[in-house]
Structures are given as structure tokens and as C-alpha cells.
Amino acid sequence: MSGHSSYEFSNPVVKWLDSRLPIVTMVKAQAMDFPTPKNLNYWWTFGGILATMLVIQLITGIVLVMHYTPHVDMAFDSVEHIRRDVNYGNIIQKLHANGASFFFIAVYIHMFRGLYYGSYKAPREVLWMIGVAIFLAMMATGFMGYVLPWGQMSFWGAKVITNLFSAIPFFGEAIVTWLWGGFSVDNATLQRFFSLHYLLPFVLCALVFLHVWALHVSGNGNPVGVEVKSGQDTVSFHPYYTMKDLFAILVFLLFLFGFVFFSPDYLGHPINYVEANPLVTPAHIVPEWYYLPFYAILRSIPDKLLGVVAMFASILILFILPWLDTSKVRSATYRPRYRQLFWILVVVCLGLGVCGAQPAEGGWVIASRILTAWYFLHFLVFLPLLGLFETPKPLPSSISESVLAKQAAKSTAAAQPAE
């Protein structure tokens, strides 16, 4: 990432190493001295939280593979073997399963933070697009991972989702058979999903590396949305944001561990404790909660192909978001109309999540259709138009000015000198 040594090291070993491989310089420049806007709020800690979750998932995953057997006759029992017999196995397995959920909680907050503060706007388009790619990779990883315990929902989830590809004209059937390696989801499918579930996290790591690289080229955005203008606007990443991130990570882990230790099955489906049976479909097939909004979009459209297209489009649309939003102002703080739209979008996404969990009948279908329509209108119509008509509030001239103004406001409110 960084070129030659620009630091003077007193330790001869460090000096020797750094002149040959400037890794110490890189860490110092990129992870410690990196100038970071001083007004980042706690919504900005989710990047660090996500990195932590990725590490937790990798470690627990690698450990689980030491005990798991990817075979239709043994997969279910081997997961139970982990829960029942392996030392600390039930905690590690539950940490991995709940960790996936919390990974998605963090990524959704991270994404909505980006939407609220306009983090996708120039010069951070590529940073944002890599982020969307990370989200896609996460979804694929999570989906294949859910198949591995080989419960009823694993099996039928796999069957339904792979069947989406049968909607592709002409080649659909052939593609699905190819995905399955047979005429149904079976052992071949399980084994390839296992392989890919192990592979994709490393792709994720590579994407995360690119994401961080892009971040360090453009620098962090910030809640005000005004670019950094001078050293006055920034602080070094360490210790200011390392410590803040660590605190946020610990609090996040408190929630995660609360579920792992006291309600480990809350986020899962009971029916997945029944071994996969290709002859019996469960009464309600529901994906894990983090796919529900997309599942609702899929089901809201009565046409098979269009439903699949809409579902994928709802994610892919995020790739072109930087060019759909015509406003030059980044932060929703200074865009009153956009702020309203943003919160409506949050409610729409939550609503889609609720619809996705319900049986596709009656009012739920109508509700999903309205919400799906709103979702696409938001990105394709409202955002492009809003930038042309909205009058943003006046922006502060710099980050430090906004910070000082905030402090001044605070001290007048407290009717006491600040320091």
C-alpha cells in the first residue's frame, strides 16, 4: 500500500526489516497515524465490528470443519456430535450460527449508515461498489453455510433458492441440474456447497482488503459530509478510533454472547432440528431472517422470471446508486427531504422483512407489492429527482467548524464553560 520508509526507527531490527519490507511503515501510516475526521459518530464503528465478525466467523468456521462431515448421511449427526461431544463444541457452533446473524446485523447498519450520510458519493463510488460486492459474497456464503447442518430448512432452503435459477430462459433447467450435480439437492450439492462455503470467506477477505484500500485512498467520509480540509479536521486513527472501535466491538459482542449463551436457537428455525427429508416439505419455508426482505420481493411478483429478476435487481441497484443520487450534498443532516425518504426506506425494508416471514397469501402479498414498489421507486425515481428539486440546508465550511459549533451549543445548553 505505501511506498518507502518515511519514518525513522530507533530499533535496529525494525529498521532493518522496514528498509527491506516497509510493513512497519505501512502499519504505522495506515493503521495508526492515518488521519481520520474527528467527528465520526458511533455509526462509524461498524466497519471495525464487521472486521471482528469476519475474524470470529473464520476462526469458528475453521474449527467446526475439524469435526463436521459433509455427507448427507452424516452431516446432521456430525453437527449434533459437535454440540454434544466436542469440547466447547456447543458454544463454538452456536457462536458461528449466531455470528452469521450478527454479521448481517452489522452489515445492514453499516450499509444504512452509508445511505444516510451519502458515503457512496464521489470520490467513494468504488469503495461503495466493493462494499456491495462484499454484501453479495456474504449472502452467498451465509446461504451455503445454512445448508451444511442438513436439517429440513437447510435442504428446502437450498432447493428453493437453487430453483431460482430455473427461471433463466432456455438454460434454466440445465443450470439448476449443474448446480445440484444431480436431479435434486443431494450429496453432490452438499459437498460442493461445503467447498464453496469454505472458499468464499477468503474471497471475502480479499474484497475486504480492497474495501479498506479504497477507503484509505479517499479517506473516511463523516457525518457532516464536508471533505477534510486541514489537519484541524482530523485526528490520528490510533488511539482515538482504535479505542472507540474497541469499545463498540465489546458492546456488540455483549449482544452476540447474550444470544449465544442464553438464547442460542432464537434466531434459527425449529424445523432445522429435524434431519433433511427430500420427501416431505415443511409447512412454511422461510429463509434466515437476513434474507427475508429479498424473499418478500421475490414472492411479491407473480411471474417466476420477473420475481427472480426483481430480487437480484434489488441488490444490484446498489451498484449504480452513486449515479442515481443526483444531489451533491452527502449527509442527510443537511437534506431534510432526503432524510424523510431515508427513514421511510428503513421502514419499508423492515416491512419487507416482516412480509417475507409470513405465508404468501392475502394482505401480505398486497403489502409486499406496495413495499417492493416503494423500494424501487426510492432508488430509481425519488433519488434522481430529489437532487434536482431539494434545497439543502447550508453546510458548515469545515469539519472543525461544525465540531466547535456543536461544542458551543452544548456549553450554552449546560450554561457552563466546557473545559
Among 202, 261, 323, 343, binds other proteins (CB under 8 A): 261
* Between 112 and 240, CB nearer to other proteins: 240
Instruction: State the nearest-atom distance from the C-beta of 66 to other proteins, in Å.
Output: 7
Q: Is the dihedral of CA 95, 98, 102, 108 positive or negative?
A: positive
Contacts of 177 (CB under 8 A, 6+ apart): 183
Run of H or E including 66:
none
Q: Which residue has the cell 467520509?
A: 221
Q: Which residue has the cell 442527510?
A: 332
Q: Is 244 in the site for other proteins (CB under 8 A)?
A: yes
Among 264, 384, 387, 396, binds other proteins (CB under 8 A): 264
For 387-408, b/e burial (b = at least 16 CB within 10 A) is: beebebeebbebbbbbbeeeee
Q: Is 59 in the site for other proteins (CB under 8 A)?
A: yes
Q: Is 260 in the site for other proteins (CB under 8 A)?
A: yes
Looking at 101-109, 256-264, 304-312, 314-322, which segment touches other proteins (CB under 8 A)?
Answer: 256-264
Residues 340-379 that bind other proteins (CB under 8 A): 354, 357-359
Among 266, 385, 409, 412, binds other proteins (CB under 8 A): 266
Among 123, 270, 278, 336, binds other proteins (CB under 8 A): 270
* Between 123 and 359, CB nearer to other proteins: 359
Return the amino acid letter for 170. F
Alpha-carbon span 389 to 201, nearest angstrom = 43
Alpha-carbon span 146 to 162, nearest angstrom = 13
Alpha-carbon span 243 to 337, nearest angstrom = 35
DSSP 230-262: SGGGEEEIIIIIHHHHHHHHHHHHHHHHHHHHH
CA 411 to chain centroid, in Å, comes to 38
Instruction: State the nearest-atom distance from the C-beta of 10 to other proteins, in Å.
Output: 23
Instruction: State the nearest-atom distance from the C-beta of 353 to other proteins, in Å.
Output: 10
Alpha-carbon span 223 to 50, nearest angstrom = 19
Residues 271-300 that bind other proteins (CB under 8 A): 271-274, 283
For residue 115, give the C-alpha cell: 445511505
Q: Is 40 in the site for other proteins (CB under 8 A)?
A: no
Looking at 103-111, 185-193, 242-250, 394-402, which segment touches other proteins (CB under 8 A)?
Answer: 242-250
Contact string (CB under 8 A) for other proteins, positions 176-215, x = contact: ----------------------------------------
Q: Is 251 in the site for other proteins (CB under 8 A)?
A: yes
Q: What are the φ and ψ backbone dihedral angles of 17, each rounded to 5 degrees?
A: -65, -45
Alpha-carbon span 139 to 159, nearest angstrom = 16
Residues 91-130 that bind other proteins (CB under 8 A): 91-92, 94
Q: What are the φ and ψ backbone dihedral angles of 235, each rounded to 5 degrees?
A: -130, 165
Alpha-carbon span 264 to 245, nearest angstrom = 26
- Name the maximum alpha-carbon separation found in the chain: 75
Q: Is 63 in the site for other proteins (CB under 8 A)?
A: yes
Looking at 157-165, 187-195, 203-211, 248-256, which segment touches other proteins (CB under 8 A)?
Answer: 248-256
User: How many chain residues touch other proteins (CB under 8 A)?
Assistant: 52
Name the residues that contact other proteins, by CB under 8 A: 38, 59, 63, 66-67, 77, 80-81, 83-92, 94, 235, 239-240, 243-244, 246-247, 250-251, 253-254, 257-258, 260-266, 270-274, 283, 354, 357-359, 407, 418-419
